[in-house]
Amino acid sequence: MASATIAVPIPELCAAAKRAARQLATVQTAVKDGALIAIADALVERTPEILAANELDMRVGREARIGDALLDRLALDPGRIAAIAAGVRQIAVLPDPVGEVIEGRRLPNGLDVRKVRVPLGVVAVVYEARPNVTIDAAALCLKAGNATVLRGSSTAAHSNAVLAAIAAEAALRAGLPAGCVSLVAGGGREELAELATQSDTIDLIVPRGGEGLKAALSQVATVPVIYAASGNCHVYVDASADLDRARRIVLNAKVQRPGVCNAAETLLVHEAVAAELLPSLATELGVAGVRLRADARSLDLIESATGVSPDGEPCAREASPGAAASANGASSGSRLDGGRSTLAIEPATEEDWATEYLALTLAVAVVGSIEEAIEHIGRYGSGHSEAIVTRDTAAARAFQLGVDAACVYVNASTRFTDGGELGMGAEIGNSTQKLHARGPIGLRELCTFKYLLEGDGHVRA
Q: What's the Cα-to-Cα distance from 20 to each of 122, 148, 172, 196, rounded to whole Å?
A: 9, 9, 11, 19
pLDDT of residue 339 exceeding 70, the answer is: no
pTM above 0.95, yes or no: no
The predicted structure's pLDDT at residue 186: 64
pLDDT of residue 164 exceeding 60, the answer is: yes
306, 410, 301, 418: which is closest to 364 by C-alpha? 301
Residue 292's CB: how many other CB atoms inside 10 A? 26
Mean pLDDT, range 320-346, rounded to an integer? 46
Q: How confident is the model at residue 307 (pLDDT cuts 50, 70, 90)?
A: confident
The residue among 448 and 331 whose pLDDT is bigger is: 448
247, 409, 238, 411: which is closest to 328 by C-alpha? 247
The predicted structure's pLDDT at residue 228: 74
Radius of gyration, CA atoms only, the chain? 24
Q: How confident is the model at residue 256 (pLDDT cuts 50, 70, 90)?
A: very high
Q: How confident is the model at residue 319 (pLDDT cuts 50, 70, 90)?
A: very low
Rounded Cα–Cα distance for residues 204 and 122 (Å): 7
The predicted structure's pLDDT at residue 160: 96
Q: How confident is the model at residue 57 (pLDDT cuts 50, 70, 90)?
A: very high
Listed range (191-205, 269-283, 303-317) with the worst mean pLDDT: 303-317
CB 427 within 8 A of CB 442: yes
What pairs with residue 431 in β-bridges?
A: 439
Q: How confident is the model at residue 213 (pLDDT cuts 50, 70, 90)?
A: confident
Helix (H, G, I), strand (E, B) or coil at 378: helix
pLDDT, the chain, mean: 89
The predicted structure's pLDDT at residue 332: 34
Q: What are the chain's domains? A: 2-228+428-454 (3.40.605.10), 233-416 (3.40.309.10)
Q: What is the largest CA-CA distance in the chain?
A: 85
Q: What is the pLDDT of residues 95-153, one digit of tens each?
A: 999 999 999 999 999 999 999 999 999 999 998 878 999 999 999 999 999 999 999 98
DSSP structural state of residue 414: G
